[in-house]
Structure 1
């Protein structure tokens, strides 16, 4: 029994040491590379183990979709290449002075661990969390690209990341005239300048959720938003490409029994200029946007988020406004490329 107080005293002393050591200031926490190998080892080991544990139960979706890989490539070039480098160019000079130094992504890493790292970032490093925690689809796009990165040469990387456009520009993803590159990105040329300006402003202030576009728009001035909107917003007339009877009926008439309005009222050829045109967008993009409204409601953000959330509402108790999955698919196919 005498050993119990001794054990408790030892535990208390150990706890005091653990708390007092960092408070003493004796541990060197400077960012100078190699300043404290023990602290670096501890932090990096803790991060790796945390990522491994938290990714253990993460389900990995199909990551072979070429459009998903291309979207990830565009964002990697815009945000990640400066620190990690790419097959086209080495990392920026400032990355060499970081501690820990961002790794060159030249080796395969487990997809679930990539997801955990990209979505949540790593504390005490330069690796940030994804700007929008509700956009797992964008994080998986990045995973789809990064898992392919070790096998790419400079030509293959450039073709995916920006094509013939200047790296990191709007045209590198959306095309020189906003036509939407390779059916992987939404078209801009079918929208009005007013709608594009509203969307960019919403991405800039974070009221519309997209980690990709929030990162792209954060540094834009009002004058740049106005210029880009005029450059890409042309509102070209595009008719529906698919003959989907159910989707066409919902677009023209809505669903009266559930008080779902006709899509064409706001989004058709004669719809308001502050609403997006739908005809001509990629089917996958349209389906995803409707699913985001259904999953996240008004939190998805954007000027008309509350209206759309009611249209596609998927509450625990069925309300008067709701689109079923097959109806979402039908509408996307009706309007989509």
Structure 2
């Protein structure tokens, strides 16, 4: 118990640790924003022409520092767009300790990539689809005798608010998928809530400050409805994949715990010739089948030793031994090496 409590105390994260990690994440994001802002400042001329192209009108500033302020705002906005993946990654990593069981590192990288792609898609949709219609709608309400004098700050605020709204709206699939990961959602429940999503999207489109015409409002409401239905499809696919994985796991556990059937059939050896084609043809399909090995269960009975007759050598063998002994004696007569007599020699 002492070791467990000690281990739990060492793994607990204090408030100072959270604040220190938040400080590190903020410093990383600030450095990334600074570097991206410097890069955007080097190309602010083409960026300014690109942003003012849908307006088809010159921009003005009403203060001595208006031009500098406008350029700095462009650098900040461009740096935010460029560093979206870094900001999302640090935000997810900061909240990851609370959802460590469902947020693996692989899933963190996947969510960061998809979130960045959806953010860029939302910004592109706002700039290319919503902004031209909104500007055209407001130009139609020009009063005779009055000329539009659009300031750079007001135009940039109008554009950034529109882009920020669609960047957030395009994150709906990831938000619903994240909620489904923490607390599983029922697809039927999501389908029942779809009518309220349609009504809410129309209300948001009508209350948006950058458009009041019907066509642009529909263009704002349609992506919300489409993204919500895409979220339902993602939830259904996740549930199907999870159910199939659970079934496969249960099946493997069942096969692992289920005892194998005992093969009681006797596999006798073939009675024919070993090299015959009939034996090969009959035994080849049975190579993969289990073969029962029989164990010896009886005990050998020790019998007493029986008297055996002595072995007598034949005549030619005795003659051969005698000749070998005589030859060895003759060799000993003419040799200086004396061979000791054998223990078992044959006398002649």
Give the shorter-chain TM-score range: under 0.3
Bigger-Rg structure (1/2): 2
**TM-score, with length taken from structure 2:** 0.21
TM-score (norm 1): 0.21
